[in-house]
A and B are shown apart, each in its own frame.
With several copies, the nearest count.
Chain A
Amino acid sequence: EPFITLSSTTSTDNSGLLDYLIPKFKNKTGIDVRVIAVGTGRALLLGERGDADIVLVHHKVSEEKFIEKGFGIERKDVMYNDYVIVGPKQDPAKIKQVKKAAKAFQLISKIQSPFISRGDDSGTHKKELELWSLTGVNIQQYSGEWYREAGAGMGATLNIANGMSAYTMSDRGTWLSFKNRDELTLLFENDPPLFNQYGIILVNPERHAHIKHKEAKLFSDWLTSNEGQQAIADFTLEGQQLFFPNAQREIATAEPH
């Protein structure tokens, strides 16, 4: 049976979105999609080395570099989701009342309440660091004290946050599908800086002869088509829509040389 290999991030996979989309695509085209869920960095590396046919990640800077270097040939916006800040129910830093994410971070740093960072250079981690830089707090100096870098995926980071009754920042999808919550609860959401754009990139078939370019393009096209976009919008977890389709324009393209 024909299949393509898609490398993506664990947070995307954890949400269940791909499990929802792939059968629909397979139904239509007969092509299966095999998902390798890894960190952003390694997802791109898999594409670079020709081990995946297509890449679905969410860190625009890295994605553009990927295209520039000729590893990928076509990047399309697909959708966005958003990040939320979660923490212990008691909310010792009182971030529930504030309106800006940076403000929330500032309050956390003020009382030096435990905060778990992904600490793995992932898209999520970079976004978190951006927010810290907005607060003016030099967060590195607290590393190993109340600011803890887990160097782990989103799920593992949430597990640790739960275990330590700490704050952390998570993508909404992982948070909603995450079960080991105990005292952990959602405390802050819906601030535009927390939005998170996803892009899909075709791996350059010129670099690797075996790449299933045609089938991969079918998937990319389907995902950005009206049908695919609708499917993304239809996907809900616990009654909430997680991903918001926005595939209206192409960000960067490069024809195969």
Chain B
Amino acid sequence: MNDFSHAFSKALQLIIQLDPALLEIIGLSLRVSITAVLIASIIGLPLGAALALYKFYGRGIIVALLNAFMGLPPVVVGLVVYLILSRSGPLGVLGLLFTPTAMIIAQVCLITPIVAALTRQTILDANDEYHEQLRALGAKASRMMKTLLWETRFSLMTGVFAGFGRAIAEVGAVLIVGGNINHATRVMTTAIALETRKGDIELALALGIILITISLIVTSLVMSARHAAYQYHS
């Protein structure tokens, strides 16, 4: 267990030193994953709600795909985005490969299914209660969707957390499309992978502890905001 206490003190030390290289990496991690989770929510929340509310041919298949896509392997997503963004790929002219933008794109692909699938289930459960009533009041499908998203907003947050967790923690996709380039596309997880490669497990663990602490801070902040809003609204 010595390893762990060493790692903890190392983590503490790194944080106290406020090492600028570390701050840069933390900043990029947060920037990439928060942007990705925002975009994924903008797509996934209405998508999930629509799949819960609209009946159309082939919906079952899309839902199954969505549930399965919660298990998209990061490396595969990374490869696909790589092929699309690479110089010889269809979007090669944009020159996005090995930039933070490419990392955001890959993470959006990874987590949109998670946000959408979890949103679908939450809206489906709420719909049980609300559907008939809203319909009787004259709400059209699109309005019903908005109303349900709003009424369940506190519950939906948990799905968004799950998406954020996946984004901030994954390494396979960002490594391939970002390249873990020092001072350019190195984020916490790729840095951890690098230290692990080097066999510096202590440093890798210390970085891991810092990453988890950051996740904890972000989630706690959002949770308290949610709690305050919830108290206010009831």
Contacts and interface: CB of A to CB of B under 8 A. Distances in A.
Interface residues of B, number: 29
B180 A164 contact: no
Nearest to B201: A180
Given A36-B181, A41-B199, A151 B88 contact: no
Interface in B62-106: 82, 86-89, 92, 95, 97-98
A37 interface: yes
Contact of A151 (B89, B97, B176, B191): B191
Interface of B: 82, 86-89, 92, 95, 97-98, 175-176, 179-184, 186, 190-191, 193-194, 196-202
Given A35-B182, A151-B182, 4 more contacts: A50-B87, A151-B197, A152-B179, A181-B199
A227 interface: no
Contacts of B95: 210
Interface stretch (A89-97, A141-149, A191-199): A141-149
Decide if the interface of chain A is mainly helix, strand, loop or mixed: mixed
Contact of B182 (A43, A121, A144, A155): A144
12 contacts: A39-B196, A40-B199, A51-B87, A143-B183, A144-B184, A150-B180, A151-B181, A159-B199, A160-B98, A179-B198, A179-B202, A208-B87
Contact of A149 (B87, B97, B181): B181
Contacts of A36: 98, 179-181
A148 B184 contact: yes
Interface string A151-191: 11111101110111100000000100111111000000000
Contacts of A122: 197-198
Contact of A155 (B87, B98, B183, B196): B196
A135 interface: no
Interface in A111-157: 119-122, 143-144, 148-156
Interface residues of A, number: 50
A49 interface: yes
A156 B79 CA distance: 11
Nearest to A203: B87
Contacts of B97: 51, 163-164
Contacts of B202: 179
Contacts of A160: 98, 179, 181
